[in-house]
């Protein structure tokens, strides 16, 4: 089915339930559904055509979320323009995909004139919250669509091959590619979420904290199939998140590891009632086992993990809360380092460089098959071919599977450090450093070294009021990992740079150490 069909099923399931809470704004499912029809009609009245690419350029906002649903109702392609990216990054991406529409919040109106000048494909500009020169307001768009019929563009098969999203890969290692997410892939994702994220004992309430332009926006769409209430916060502030969980009786929450660690480090983290939480999903990067154990202690048996990427999104594997809680209690404690088993509609395996599928325990690249997998990158056949060798989709992540079918991600292939001829996976070292109670965040990178080629370096942010000596960090890692993998140096910082998606920006961290060299490896 189409993305909008799943939303409609949720609206039909619970028409009188609250769909969105954003500050003082409360919108029910009946009103939200009507609003999406009105947005779609307004688009068609203004010259919209099936397959038009619509960029939503906004922070976390109720009307931005409704515009995502409205553009899908109209038959558009969502282009997630990220307000946290540089202006030039957004210009490059919108030009690459050929976006025709820009729906934006007035908070970012200063970016619109340069976008208008630099992206010639943009022909329609709509401001979410007010009328601006050369930009119609959303209310004006809706008013102009009165009496316009939205064409019934569906087919008997649910338009499986139609592209619904052009998702940017991030661009931290070069120019961002555009992943084509079809209705088939998104429908598979939705039905996986329906199987693994159900919440029969409480009214489902999802807290949207991370950017709407990244995983949080996608998850908010996925839970509408349950008739879930999406509580939208403008951004991440630890105390506000903890208060919102208690106030709104939140059942579903997604955070990247950096935000999860910030919650755990907050001095008031144990003061609030988290008993409503059923699925506290920590993802988008590997999570330290000790932090997950602490999270189960603080938040209860709700912590869970999954593994996915834009090319095979969100739930390629699934580690349920019961398994996580059992691991935290000492039953297979190694599973705190696992991202779970393959979900039911996909095949997941581990592959050697020569295409052999590897047995349990042997590390290699994680590969996948199934309808969750993207058909490829938009207008980039070469990059698509690179991730399709040996008739499997290649994730670029290195890991292994144990004898029970649980997958363990060791690192991204590009984050591997080669020191003295040995391969060191930064995620393994980071997890070991994060075992230390004083450490809030850690990034491990390879830096130039005359003897080793690359030397392992740990960059650390401490918890407020906590201290630990660099020598103690190195000694802890040496005892746990051995001399090769232990950091050769430790640097303490007040903060670490993040990408627009909230992940640690390894490219930025490496830049200063490798400046002036022909290549970023030795």
What integer pLDDT is reported at residue 521 of this predicted model?
Answer: 45
Instruction: Output DSSP code: residue 268.
Output: T
CATH number of the structural domain 420-514: 3.30.300.30
φ, ψ for residue 447, nearest 5 deg: -120, 155
Residue corresponding to tokens 């581990």: 350
Fold (topology level) of 27-182: Rossmann fold (3.40.50)
Burial 224-246 (b: 16+ CB within 10 A, else e): bbbbbbbbbbeebebeebbebbe
pLDDT of residue 519: 45
pLDDT value, residue 174: 44
In the chain, CATH 3.40.50.980 sits at 27-182
What residue ranges of the chain are covered by domains with CATH 3.30.300.30?
Answer: 420-514
If one counts every other C-beta atom within 10 angstroms of the C-beta of residue 38, the result is 22
Q: Where in the chain is the domain with CATH 3.40.50.12780?
A: 236-412
Picking from 480, 464, 105, the residue whose alpha carbon sits closest to that of residue 472 is 480
With tokens 């988008």, the residue in question is 284
Nearest to 358 by CA among 393, 400, 389, 416: 400
| Residue 421: per-residue pLDDT | 62
- pLDDT the model gives residue 152: 95
Which pair of structure tokens corresponds to residue 144?
């102009």
Bridge-based pairing of strands 453-462 and 489-492 is: parallel
CA distance 262 to 118: 38
Residue pair 228/18 in contact (Cβ under 8 Å)? The answer is no
Q: What angle do CA 414, 505, 340 make, to 5 degrees?
A: 65
CATH match of 236-412 with 3.90.1150.10: no
- Looking at the DSSP bridge assignments, the partners of residue 439 are 462
Residues 6+ apart with CB under 8 A from 462: 438, 439, 440, 468, 492
| Intervals of the chain under pLDDT 70 | 170-175, 284-285, 420-422, 501, 517-522
510: three-class secondary structure by DSSP: helix
Lookup: tokens for 480: 């746990």
pLDDT for 160? 96
The count of residues in the chain is 522
pLDDT for the residue 522: 43
CA-nearest of 68, 97, 342 to 222 is 68
- Residues 6 or more apart whose CB falls under 8 angstroms from that of 194 comprise 225, 226
At 345-387, the pLDDT tens digits run: 999 999 999 999 999 999 999 999 999 999 999 999 999 999 9
Backbone angles phi, psi at 300, to 5 degrees: 95, -175
pLDDT for the residue numbered 424: 80
């Amino acid at each position: 089915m189409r993305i909008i069909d799943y939303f409609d099923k949720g609206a039909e399931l619970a028409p009188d339930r609250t769909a969105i809470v954003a500050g003082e704004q409360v919108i029910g499912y009946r009103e939200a559904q009507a609003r999406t029809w009105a947005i779609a009609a307004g688009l068609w009245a203004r010259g919209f055509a099936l397959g038009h690419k619509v960029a939503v350029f906004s922070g976390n906002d109720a009307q931005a979320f409704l515009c995502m649903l409205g553009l899908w109702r109209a038959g558009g392609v969502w282009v997630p323009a990220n307000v946290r990216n540089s202006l030039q990054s957004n210009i490059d991406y919108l030009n690459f995909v050929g976006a025709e529409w820009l729906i934006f919040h007035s908070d970012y109106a200063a970016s619109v004139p340069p976008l208008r000048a630099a992206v010639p494909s943009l022909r329609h500009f709509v401001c979410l919250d007010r009328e601006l020169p050369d930009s119609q307001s959303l209310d004006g768009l809706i008013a102009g669509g009165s009496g316009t019929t939205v064409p019934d563009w569906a087919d008997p098969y649910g338009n499986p091959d139609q592209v619904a999203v052009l998702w940017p890969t991030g661009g931290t290692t070069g120019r961002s590619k555009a992943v084509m997410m079809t209705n088939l892939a998104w429908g598979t994702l939705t039905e996986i979420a329906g199987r693994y994220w159900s919440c029969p004992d409480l009214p489902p309430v999802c807290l949207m904290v991370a950017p709407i332009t990244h995983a949080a926006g996608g998850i908010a769409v996925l839970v509408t199939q349950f008739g879930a209430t999406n509580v939208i916060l403008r951004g991440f502030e630890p105390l506000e998140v903890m208060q919102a969980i208690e106030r709104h009786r939140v059942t579903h929450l997604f955070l990247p590891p950096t935000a999860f660690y910030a919650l755990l480090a907050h001095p008031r983290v144990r003061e609030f009632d988290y008993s409503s939480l059923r699925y506290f999903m920590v993802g988008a990067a590997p999570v330290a086992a000790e932090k997950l154990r602490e999270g189960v202690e603080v938040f209860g048996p709700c912590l869970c993990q999954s593994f996915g990427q834009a090319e095979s999104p969100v739930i390629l594997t699934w580690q349920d809360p019961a398994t996580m809680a059992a691991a935290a209690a000492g039953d297979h404690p190694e599973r705190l380092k696992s991202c779970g088993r393959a979900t039911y509609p996909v095949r997941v395996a581990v592959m050697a460089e020569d295409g052999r599928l590897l047995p349990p325990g042997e590390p290699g690249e994680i590969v996948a098959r199934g309808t969750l997998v993207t058909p490829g990158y938009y207008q980039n056949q070469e990059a698509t071919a690179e991730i399709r060798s040996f008739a499997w989709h290649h994730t670029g992540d290195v890991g292994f599977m144990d004898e029970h079918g649980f997958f363990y991600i060791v690192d991204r292939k590009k984050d591997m450090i080669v020191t003295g001829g040995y391969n060191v996976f930064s995620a393994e070292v980071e997890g070991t450093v994060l075992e230390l109670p004083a450490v809030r965040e850690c990034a491990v990178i390879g830096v130039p070294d005359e003897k080793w080629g690359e030397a392992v370096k740990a960059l650390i942010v401490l918890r407020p009021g906590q201290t630990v000596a660099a020598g103690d960090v190195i000694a802890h890692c040496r005892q746990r990992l051995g001399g090769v993998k232990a950091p050769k140096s430790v640097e303490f910082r007040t903060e670490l740079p993040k990408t627009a998606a909230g992940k640690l920006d390894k490219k930025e961290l490496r830049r200063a150490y490798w400046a002036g060299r022909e290549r970023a490896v030795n």
